[in-house]
Chains A and B, each alone.
Chain A
Amino acid sequence: GAGVSQTPSNKVTEKGKYVELRCDPISGHTALYWYRQSLGQGPEFLIYFQGTGAADDSGLPNDRFFAVRPEGSVSTLKIQRTERGDSAVYLCASSLTTGGRNEQFFGPGTRLTVL
């Protein structure tokens, strides 16, 4: 079946602009995760959803970052007033449920470049 999809694959924006990144999880997966990966580093957790609610948003770096999952499927990561330091690959993952023996499956990522 289809894996996790993310759009756009690349996004170039100017400092101060607003961006939205979209994630479509694997069908039937109730848990959805957002991570950020800088060059040469491992993914860093941002936020995860169980259903429609954000169960843990402890990784969001500041209040410019916000994520939603209104119908419990597709999620959107929103970044306001982008800064050059926000440049990274934003990864989305989904799993059947949270916790337990549930592996996370990742999408291809969105490469965000802030000029």
Chain B
Amino acid sequence: EDQVTQSPEALRLQEGESSSLNCSYTVSGLRGLFWYRQDPGKGPEFLFTLYSAGEEKEKERLKATLTKKESFLHITAPKPEDSATYLCAVRGVYNQGGKLIFGQGTELSVKP
């Protein structure tokens, strides 16, 4: 059964304090690992897709990396506007039609 576990559940940072969020996954034949950002009361906003171990993608202060067992979302010099819940999801070979399996999310709070 495909599974995703995110840690920590909550993370509090000071503005400028870099850190990483972890997404550990178990999937039969990874067909994509997805990172989303979700603000309170809104739907998830797409950030990145990673497909193979060693792949990296960057967007502003965010960089996502992928290994065969986990993905990291690195946040460099975060700002208060980066505060949100970050969700990780996987698509496996048996769900190539598109079904995503999500983790429970990491709630990030960045204080000025």
Contact = CB atoms under 8 A, between A and B. Distances in A.
Interface in B36-50: 36, 41-46, 49
A102 B34 CA distance: 11
B46 A105 contact: yes
B105 interface: yes
Nearest to B98: A98
A52 to B, nearest CB: 15
A59 B46 CA distance: 22
Given A48-B97, A48-B99, A104 B46 contact: yes
Contacts, number: 73
A41 B97 contact: no
Contacts of B105: 40-42
A42 B89 CA distance: 9
Contact of B104 (A35, A40, A99, A102): A40
Contact of A91 (B31, B44, B99): B44
Contacts of B103: 42
A95 interface: yes
Contacts of B44: 43, 91, 106
10 contacts: A33-B98, A42-B89, A56-B99, A91-B44, A93-B43, A101-B49, A104-B98, A106-B43, A108-B41, A108-B42
